[in-house]
A and B are shown apart, each in its own frame.
Chain A
């Protein structure tokens, strides 16, 4: 009996200091070191999109910022592989905020991880500049305009651009090949809406399971539909396999294939003969102008590959953040967010970019068409930019926002 009492006493004695230390952990933000963290997928399915490229983008931003502004504060960069697991990602970020003094997290591709990290970021009142995830939930249902900026793209922008622009060019009947999960469904829906808004027709859609290996029956349906455009509402390996199969079935001769989430990395992997004539929206193309070429060649010399919109966006996000810290003279979240929203973004990635009240960064998107082998003059020279989609049209208008914090205003 006495033993038990002793035990109970010692346990309660232990509880007290533990509770005390929790209070002590909420320290003050130091103005001496600005700590930036890149959370990304380094080993999994999305590692070619972001991964080490994103880390390099952030490094280059810090380099450029230091050269231009000679800041008084120190800048540190850390990075981690979330292995596409929301618990690993959110745990890491929580730990970064609580014990490592991290001020801002960027990249965070994979929507599941991104939303989890957004919650932690809001709770700890830090900043996430998301350059990797696609889900529009980040600026709608799960928006957190005081802490989270969705920087590069989302499913709406990816769907809306080609949906409108391609239809406008007279290719007005669509058929969809859709990955059968939320991401695919929302891409299909957003694109259909855009097509219909331009007076186009959607002739049908076929759903395929995630990571399907055989696309032949789906593509035969697409071919039989006689639609002028076949939209691929899928991503990663599924996109690559469906493009390959489309090519084998000769579908590309009479119909235009529009990838709804395709980047230059996929085109590089598949090669021009397979992909020529495809159309899609990109947030960045290295061969746009002198500035993008300079940035991209520097990137290439270290990465042995041209940047897609993720690393380029991460570069821009980190640079914009550091400039805001410099101007505000503090790394306090509210002050930096205010500064970032007040300043337009002009760098290699975006011209006249602007962060809206709901946390959506809007910038021009590009509708591109993949060149024929004969037109390509050098390695990585892959796109004809068919149309620049202006920032105001590229993203979901504020009027349609489902973000509660913005609606209240």
Chain B
């Protein structure tokens, strides 16, 4: 099984390496950024059972910090990315340590409330440019490669995505990941086994926030701007949709979900006009009513059933 999985990953990576020859690279980069964002979110929702409803704030804050670092402080690209990711991680620690004291819907509401506070800060702070956004961020260079070239940047984004995906994968399958799953399944039992649940939750939250931040920082590099949309609660909602649609608690689900949503948003923009939001809503309703395990979850279940029949 694990051999099969690694072959599947290699094929996936191969396809991604080839993708910019067939698909518009900026679109693929955007998909990768949101896929990373959704994967980070899934680490929290799918594997730890914590529904954060303010995750966009990590995406947004990293986007702004990276943008500011590259544009105003004129830091090298890599440092800019690190600054953004670091800021999101710190913010994740601050918000996380407050939010994990509550559970369920209260946890979601606390994250939403804190995220709205930070959103307000971005709306008012002069360095973000308010609703005009932080615009014209230079991409800079990396190891002598000019990142203004979309193809060069594409492979950087792909490397970031692949590295983070590997990190998430490792986390899930590590003893730490097992404990997270134990917390998700039965928190009192995890406590009774002697685990300091709060610490594990906080660590998962910070990790998720940091990775979401990395996604936001990369996104700034791709689009050369950071706007309020990144930190808006709509985006927090969208990442929930991506994760549920792809398959919560599956490694690959968020990637599929993000791909579907981002591609639809982009492709439908000039085809159906005002119907985009209606179509998105319909997809969500169908997903919740008909296939709750999401696209990947349902496919896996189908696969298992077929294998089961063959073995019988």
Contact = CB atoms under 8 A, between A and B. Distances in A.
Among B18, B135, B149, B150, chain A packs the most CB atoms within 10 A around the CB of B135
Interface stretch (B36-44, B99-107, B192-200, B265-273): B265-273
A182 B130 contact: yes
A91 B27 contact: yes
* For the complex of A and B, 9 pairs with smallest distance between CB atoms: A182-B130, A80-B270, A42-B274, A80-B269, A43-B274, A86-B227, A112-B133, A22-B151, A42-B273
A99 B273 contact: no
Given A116-B135, A119-B224, A142-B135, A43 B277 contact: yes
Contacts of B133: 86, 112, 115-116
A221 interface: no
Given A78-B270, A91-B223, A11 B17 contact: yes
Contacts of B135: 115-116, 119, 142
Contacts of B229: 84-87, 112
Interface in B127-148: 129-133, 135-136
Nearest to A137: B132
B131 A183 contact: yes
A182 B129 contact: yes
Interface string A65-91: 000000000000011111111111011
A95 B26 contact: yes
A111 B26 contact: no
Contacts of B123: 181, 210
B219 A87 contact: yes
Contacts of A10: 14
Interface residues of A, number: 46
A98 B229 CA distance: 25
Interface stretch (A12-20, A27-35, A281-289): A12-20
19 contacts: A22-B149, A22-B150, A80-B270, A81-B269, A83-B276, A85-B229, A86-B223, A91-B27, A91-B30, A91-B266, A92-B269, A95-B27, A99-B24, A112-B132, A115-B132, A116-B135, A116-B227, A142-B135, A142-B136
B270 A79 contact: yes
B155 A15 contact: yes
A21 interface: yes
B225 interface: yes
A135 interface: yes
Nearest to A92: B269
A357 B150 CA distance: 31
Overall SS of chain A's interface: helix
A270 to B, nearest CB: 23
Contact of A52 (B17, B224, B273): B273
B21 interface: yes
Contacts of A183: 130-131
A135 B24 contact: no
A51 interface: yes
Interface in A1-53: 7, 10-11, 14-15, 17-19, 21-22, 42-43, 47, 51-52
A87 B277 contact: no
Contacts of A181: 123-124, 130-131
Contacts of A79: 270, 273
A87 B149 contact: no
A84 B27 CA distance: 18
A94 interface: yes
Given A21-B21, A52-B273, 10 more contacts: A7-B10, A18-B151, A18-B154, A79-B273, A81-B270, A81-B274, A85-B265, A87-B227, A115-B225, A182-B131
Interface in A90-121: 90-92, 94-95, 98-99, 111-112, 115-116, 119
Contact of B265 (A22, A83, A116): A83
Contacts of A81: 269-270, 273-274, 276
Nearest to A87: B223
B256 interface: no
Contacts of B132: 111-112, 115, 135, 137, 182
Contact of A19 (B27, B124, B151): B151
Interface in B261-312: 265-266, 269-270, 273-277
Nearest to A10: B14
A51 B274 contact: yes
B274 A47 contact: yes
Among B24, B130, B266, chain A packs the most CB atoms within 10 A around the CB of B130
A19 B273 CA distance: 34
Contacts of B18: 14, 18
Interface string A201-233: 000000000100000000000000000000000
Contacts of B274: 42-43, 47, 51-52, 81
Contacts of B149: 22
